[in-house]
Each structure stands twice: as C-alpha cells, then as structure tokens.
Amino acid sequence: MQYEMRASLFKGEWVVEAINEEGDGEMYIAAFSGPEAKERAVEYAAWKKSSLRGVATQGYTYSH
C-alpha cells in the first residue's frame, strides 16, 4: 500500500489516501476534520506507514 496525505477540498479537513498498487488499485480514504486535523492525519499516516515497514516514518510532503 502507498499512503499519501493531502488537504481536502473542504476547509480544515485533511485526508490520508491508501492506494493498493499490488492489487486492483483499490483506494481507501480516511478523513480528519476539526481541531488538530492536520496533526491527526500526519500521526495516522505515520502509523500506517510504520506498520508496513516495521519502523517509524518521518518527513512528509504536504499538497495544499
């Protein structure tokens, strides 16, 4: 799975997209809104990436 984080079309909302490149290209989306939405999305993406690799992941590029 490949995980990407970006700002949503809705103000104050952030999404983490998971794309299954090894399968049929399925896409899963987790949306975060409200207080500290960006921080929670970053934490979620890091957790999902680390669970794949078994190591913590840092440093994200954000698209706005």
Q: Quote the pTM value.
A: 0.68
The sign of the dihedral angle between the CA atoms of 50, 48, 35, 10 is positive
Closest by CA to 16, choosing from 24, 58, 1, 56, is 1
Both tokens of residue 54? 């078994």
- Residue 62 pLDDT greater than 60, yes or no: no
Chain-centre distance for alpha carbon 16: 3
Calpha distance 25→7 (Å, rounded):
21
pLDDT by residue (tens digit) across 8-41? 888 889 999 988 888 888 899 999 999 999 999 9
